[in-house]
Structure 1
């Protein structure tokens, strides 16, 4: 199969997959482009017994993990601000940030394409490492120790990132989805 036909056949599929795992179209486009460049450079290593699609996805997943690792090394300066916004000195919910109960239509909402669109927009607002941790755990079904190993982070850092991601997703969903259902 010619390389150009690989790009034609698989670029949209790879892009859609990547878009659900990283923040921003530009990042997704770059990662897919890097995948095809790596495939081109290593085409002599391609084994016929593996499908081209699986080979490209293996390369892409490696690129996404590298992207997550690079983002994990960037310092997060907003921790104190986030803590003050949601919790009081004793570690309990701040009165103004107390979670609101979600109504009974929540289960139905989770299955709609519109909700998934809002969730995607909320996920895209997360810091890249928070998005990575959340996506790897809840979309890819990876175990915590596996995520820590892939991202080269400690388990305590993992839990902090997951906690912040869930807080920010909750706030965004309450504002942009559940708030409009009331």
Structure 2
């Protein structure tokens, strides 16, 4: 029996709108992008509601559509990924010595494990992560937080393994610079 007759688009916004929006915002990080993704989700669901089989709940079905919209968003964004590093500064040959070592080595971070236990550190880390471009931060989150294999990241975002590596490199450099400036310095700038 098809459940398409029980699908009621007029109730979706009230029932699922807030949850869909919060989920999209957590992935996309920008309110307007999250709003667009939810709107696209509802529009797509309305167009395909007659094909809803009822094998999952209406909510699960809508979240599945939203996940595809988020992936589409990152694919579009990855086509326009800027080649600059954190805060518009590029990392180049002048940042390294002839032997390949840093011209300006990382600051002494003391005991980094203690930072991981500090709630204020995580606030600063989140702010630093938000300063990275979406394409760079998304690769970092997928690889380091969600522990998604590189092959799957590349498939999901429509990028090459080389591009994935470049984005991880930029994420690490950007986070290092931001954390050194805003957390490990004597007086944080936030």
TM over 0.5: yes
Pairwise CA RMSD of aligned residues?
2.6
Alpha-carbon shift at residue 76 of structure 1 (Å): 2.5
Counterpart in the other structure of 1:124: 130
Alpha-carbon shift at residue 153 of structure 1 (Å): 1.6
Counterpart in the other structure of 1:83: 92
Alpha-carbon shift at residue 60 of structure 1 (Å): 1.2
Describe the shift of the 1:10–1:140 C-alpha distance in structure 2 as closer, same or farther (beyond 3 A): farther
Counterpart in the other structure of 2:3: none
Query: SS where residue 78 of structure 1 aligns?
Result: coil
The 2-side partners of 1:37 and 1:68 are apart by 19
Which residues of structure 2 form unaligned runs of 5+? Answer: 1-6
Counterpart in the other structure of 2:170: 164
Is 1:93 aligned with 2:102? yes
Alpha-carbon shift at residue 145 of structure 1 (Å): 0.3
The 2-side partners of 1:85 and 1:19 are apart by 37
The 1-side partners of 2:58 and 2:110 are apart by 44
Describe the shift of the 1:30–1:78 C-alpha distance in structure 2 as closer, same or farther (beyond 3 A): same
* Cα shift readout 1:42-68 (whole Å, capped 9, x = no counterpart): 111212220122111211111111111
Q: Which moved more, 1:85-94 or 1:121-130?
A: 85-94
* Structure with more relative contact order (C-alpha pairs < 8 Å, separation 6 or more): 1
Is 1:30 aligned with 2:36? yes
Alpha-carbon shift at residue 77 of structure 1 (Å): 3.1
Counterpart in the other structure of 2:180: 174
Task: State the TM-score, normalized to the length of structure 1.
Answer: 0.81
Describe the shift of the 1:77–1:160 C-alpha distance in structure 2 as closer, same or farther (beyond 3 A): closer
Q: Which moved more, 1:135-144 or 1:124-133?
A: 135-144
Task: State the TM-score, normalized to the length of structure 2.
Answer: 0.78
Match of 1:47 among 30, 46, 53: 53
Alpha-carbon shift at residue 159 of structure 1 (Å): 0.7
CA contact (8 A) 1:68 1:129 kept: yes
Which residues of structure 1 form unaligned runs of 5+? Answer: none
Match of 1:105 among 94, 114, 121: 114
